[in-house]
Amino acid sequence: MLSTDIRKHFPILDQEINGHPLVYLDSAATSQKPRQVIEAISNYYGLDNSNVHRGVHTLGNRATEGYEGAREKVRNFINAKSTEEIIFMRGTTTALNTVAQSYGRANVGEGDEIVITYMEHHSNIIPWQQLAKEKGAVLKYVDLEEDGTLSLEKVREVITDRTKIVSIMYVSNVLGTMNPIKEIAEIAHAHGAVMVVDGAQAAPHLKIDVQKLDCDFFAFSGHKMCGPTGIGVLYGKKELLNNMEPIEFGGEMIDFVGLYESTWKELPWKFEGGTPIIAGAIGLGAAIDFLEEIGLDNIERHEHELAGYAMERMSEIDGLSIYGPLDPEKRAGLVTFNLNDVHPHDVATVLDMHGIAVRAGHHCAQPLMKWLDVSSTARASFYIYNTEADVDRLVDGLRIAKEYFADVY
């Protein structure tokens, strides 16, 4: 486990909620921010704020260096070949929509197939539904194994030579499942399809190597990995991005503008229309520095251990069901559960009264809720600042909730 000293970097954790010290177990929704990220953003606005790529003046240079410096940090973080392959966007949702609208519209036709799975987040379902409807393409789902994992056999059955796009989440935000992206990418490529990865729940928790995964696109968000909201990344292989059209047009992304025709800047800027998310990128860069100092391997191990401890302790509670793989090595640091028939909202309210923040609802995964045959679930998700003591508090809170609703449910 990581040292509890990490908690000192997160000012927000040092507070009481409803008379109890805060236990924040909702990092899969958004992580908390360390002081150095908050300060990087504040320093940018306090000292360096200016627009990028155009100022002859000193502040313009500082802002550009900060923004482009962050791009290099991201490149190194996911081991991309070149910063040309790193496009800053609002978040994972925007990145996946960009792939669907730019690559998808140009390459998917009538009768072609797009393959996703039952465990996807809405942001990796709806862009493809819309594309399929527009093009008369077929959206296909890979079914899940009973424990909420994917089998490569079933993936092979679904992907065909008509498949143009395979888009799958690396880590499930509900089941915690870690999917075999590298192997799925191989299958996709053998059929001439591109592999798109929703990396929103992976980037914060494990070392990403887009070259090893050999994925074609990889999308993730800054705010789930200690960075600010409003910044995310689309990685794409250069040869694909070069042949893709931007979907937003305006300032910043142009090369030459005539009265009736214009040309685009080179990569990556042709996809970054308008004044970019400068402070967000700088904040994300600071978050990457912070995570790399701890070490992604250490973070991954910490979460496996904490998830293992949580599942062990939570299993002590009669009537508590856990969804997803039960082997902690097969899952990321989150546990989705239901407590008897007590509605997850009621569980979450009781926990909140005891200072414990968990998520309750459908987790933006309605098709998965249907697959699980539940209307909603509660979820405790862990990050670097969580400890075994947090898990103990959760278990105590769950016992209180169970007792409180004992006569009702």
Partner 1 sequence: MSTNKLDQLYRSVIMDHYKNPRNKGVIEESSITVDMNNPTCGDVIHLTLQIDDGIVQNAKFEGDGCSISMASASMMTQIVKGKKVDEALKAASVFSDMMLGKDVDDSIDLGDIEALAGVSKFPARIKCATLAWKAMEKGVGNDSEQ
Tell me how long the chain is. Answer: 409
Number of other residues whose CB lies within 10 A of the CB of residue 364: 17
- Return the SS3 of 130: helix
Determine the distance from the C-alpha atom of residue 392 to the mean position of all C-alpha atoms in its chain, rounded to a whole number.
Answer: 27
Rg (CA), the chain: 22
Residue 263 within binding range of partner 1, rule CB under 8 A? no
Nearer to partner 1 by Cβ, of 225 and 360: the residue is 360
Scan residues 24-83 and list those touching partner 1 (CB under 8 A).
Answer: none
Catalytic residue list contains 364: yes
Residue 362 within binding range of partner 1, rule CB under 8 A? yes
Residue 349 within binding range of partner 1, rule CB under 8 A? yes
Q: Helices 58-78 and 278-294, interaxial angle, to 10°?
A: 40
Q: Which of 29, 126, 296, 364 is catalytic?
A: 364
Nearer to partner 1 by Cβ, of 207 and 343: the residue is 343
* 341, 409 contact by CB (below 8 A): yes
Q: What are the residues whose beta carbons fall under 8 Å from the beta carbon of 295, sequence distance 6 or more?
A: none
Nearer to partner 1 by Cβ, of 195 and 350: the residue is 350
Nearer to partner 1 by Cβ, of 81 and 345: the residue is 345
Nearer to partner 1 by Cβ, of 308 and 361: the residue is 361
Residue 369 within binding range of partner 1, rule CB under 8 A? yes
> Alpha helix (H) ranges present in 295-343?
296-314
| 69 DSSP assignment | H
Candidate ranges 6-14, 15-23, 74-82, 183-191; the one touching partner 1 (CB under 8 A): 15-23
Write down the least CB distance from residue 348 to partner 1, Å: 8
Residue 293 within binding range of partner 1, rule CB under 8 A? no
Residue 151 within binding range of partner 1, rule CB under 8 A? no
Residue 406 within binding range of partner 1, rule CB under 8 A? no
Torsion angle defined by CA atoms of residues 9, 15, 17 and 22, in that order, rounded to the nearest 10 degrees: 40
> Which of 409, 383, 307, 395 has its CA nearest to residue 25?
383
Candidate ranges 14-22, 95-103, 174-182, 285-293; the one touching partner 1 (CB under 8 A): 14-22
Q: Which two tokens stand for residue 242?
A: 């070069």
Footprint on this chain of partner 1 (rule: CB under 8 A): 18-20, 343-346, 349-350, 352-354, 360-362, 366, 369, 375-376, 400, 404-405, 407-408
